Every structure is written in structure tokens, then in C-alpha cells.
A = this chain, B = another copy of it.
């Protein structure tokens, strides 16, 4: 089956690239991970290693990340609820990812965008920010400096990203025991509480706790 091997190649490449980075990931390791004995498969299907990487990036984007929120809320939905839900969606999407390598790969490009990934990352990050900005705009009011709006957005996203990117170190700092309790739901609720209060918004659903 022709395209089946190509698919396995992409998934295996995703895992290996995510684990080791572009340079440290070897073609032979990817092939072994994919269970393919044909050493020339990468060059046969993708030309060379670099184009395999680009394809893997695009694959990770289409497969797991373009399905992100873009939720359609009913008219009259309060901005507070929208914001809380946005945070919950983002946290769940980043932390409960079924295929962890997809997010790992994107985070690699996030910290050090390669030429290949700059466009892809921007296509993923920018809409995420635009949506958040529109919510914030609605929540705070129209008379806010645009730069302030951006900074608030980064403050919110930064809290979530930090929990994802820094997870290994955070685990060391608080101990495995406590860190196991850092589920997406717990983190989302904390970030939402923290951020909503920072914006001076009444926090809905704060009955419990």
C-alpha cells in the first residue's frame, strides 16, 4: 500500500523530530520507528530530509491544530464566559493532545522558528490571538490601547504556554505528586480566575472552591 507507508513515515517523523529536533533526528531512526526497511523511502517520497520536515510540520498543523476552537457562541453570550471558555479550550487542546508530538513539534518552532515553520506557526498562532483579541475587545471595551490589548492576550496565553513548555521543570519544582494534579481543567480554571480578576471582570462559575 503506497500511501500507507507515506502516512506511517509522516507520523514516525513527527515523533522523532519532536523528540530530537531536526538535526539530531536521523533518517534511519525515523524509518525504524515507522517499521520501514527501505532506507531510500524518505528520498523516494519526499525528496530529502528537509522537505520531509516541512511536510511533517504541515501534517501536524492540519491534523491536530487547525481543529482548535474557533467556536461559535450564541449571541448575547457574556464576554466573561467566552474568555473562560477560550482559556479552557486552549488549555485542553494543548495539554490533553492525543498525539503529544504534534504540540511538541509546534513548540519547537515556537521557540526557534525555522524558515520552513515560520509560516505554519504564524498561521496557527495568529488566528488564536485574533480570536482572543476580539473577546478581550468585547470584554474590556473599545477605548483600550491596542498594545495593551495585545499584552493582556500574551499574559493569558503565556500562562498556558508556560505550563506546557516548562512542564518538565515545573514537575521538578513542585514534585511529581502535586504536578500530577495539574490537569488541563485545574490549570484552565486557575488561569481563568486569575485573568478575569486581573481584568476586573466578575468571575462566573466561581461558586465552588
Q: How far is the CB of A111 from chain B (nearest CB, A)?
A: 5
Q: How far is the CB of A160 from chain B (nearest CB, A)?
A: 8
- Measured between alpha carbons, how far is A33 from B29 in the docked complex, in Å? 31
- Measured between alpha carbons, how far is A100 from B196 in the docked complex, in Å? 34
* A166 / chain B contacts, CB cutoff of 8 Å: 110-111, 154, 158, 161
Task: Render A7-31 as a binary contact track against B, CB cut-off 8 A, 1 for contact.
Answer: 0000000000000111110000000
Known: A23-B24, A111-B107, A126-B173. A161 touches B158 (CB 8 A): yes
Q: Number of A interface residues, CB 8 Å?
A: 49
- Give 8 pairs: A residue, B residue, CB < 8 Å, sorted on A: A23-B24, A126-B173, A150-B173, A152-B190, A154-B159, A157-B162, A158-B160, A158-B166
Which residues of A line the B interface, CB within 8 A?
Answer: 20-24, 107, 110-113, 118, 121-122, 125-126, 129, 147-148, 150-152, 154-155, 157-163, 165-166, 168-170, 172-174, 178, 181, 187, 190-191, 194-195, 197-200
